Amino acid sequence: MSVTLEKGIPIASTCMMSFSGSPNHILYYPRSYPHSLIVGRTGSGKSYAARYWMYQFLNYYPNAKLYLLDFKNEFNFPQLPRYYTNFDCVQGMKSFVKEMGERQESHNVDKPPILLYIDELSALLTFLDKKDAETFRHGISLAYMVSRAQNMFTLTGMQRADASNWVAGARDNISFVMLLGEFSKEGCEMFSLKKENMGACPYPGMGHILINGNSNSLLKIKIPFLRDTQKIDRRIIEALT
Ligand SMILES: Nc1ncnc2c1ncn2[C@@H]1O[C@H](COP(=O)(O)OP(=O)(O)O)[C@@H](O)[C@H]1O
Ligand SMILES: [Mg+2]
- In order, the DSSP letters of 57-78 are HHHH-TT-EEEEEETT--S---
Cβ atoms of 100 and 34 within 8 Å: the answer is no
pLDDT tens digits, one per residue of 139-188: 999 999 999 999 999 999 999 999 999 999 999 999 999 999 999 999 99
Q: Decide: helix, strand or coil at residue 185.
A: helix
The rounded percent of the chain whose pLDDT value lies above 90 is 90
Atom index in ligand 1 nearest the CA of residue 44 equals 22
Torsion-angle region of residue 98: left (phi > 0), alpha (psi -120 to 50) or beta? Answer: alpha
- How far apart, in whole angstroms, are the C-alpha atoms of residue 177 and residue 48? 15
- Looking at residue 22, its pLDDT comes to 76
The secondary structure element, H or E, covering residue 117 is strand 114-119
| Cα 51 to averaged position of ligand 2 atoms, centre (Å) | 10
pTM as predicted: 0.96
Backbone phi, psi, residue 84, to 5°: -130, 135
State the burial class of residue 184 (Cβ atoms within 10 Å of its Cβ: 0-12, 13-18, 19+). exposed
**From the CA of 196, how far away is ligand 2's center (Å)?**
26
Domain regions of the chain by residue span: 28-174+185-193+224-240
CATH H-level, domain 28-174+185-193+224-240: superfamily: P-loop containing nucleotide triphosphate hydrolases (3.40.50.300)
CA of 74, nearest ligand number: 2
d(CA 24, CA 157): 24
Torsions phi, psi for 168 (to 5 deg): -45, 125
Question: Which residue stretches of 106-150 are H helix?
Answer: 121-127, 130-146
41: CA distance to ligand 1 center in Å?
Answer: 11
What ligand 1 atom has the least distance to the C-alpha of 50?
A: 17
Average pLDDT over residues 184-211: 95
Q: Which of 29-38, 73-82, 106-115 has the lowest mean pLDDT?
A: 106-115
Q: Which residues neighbour ligand 2 (ion) by CB within 5 Å? A: 46-47, 74
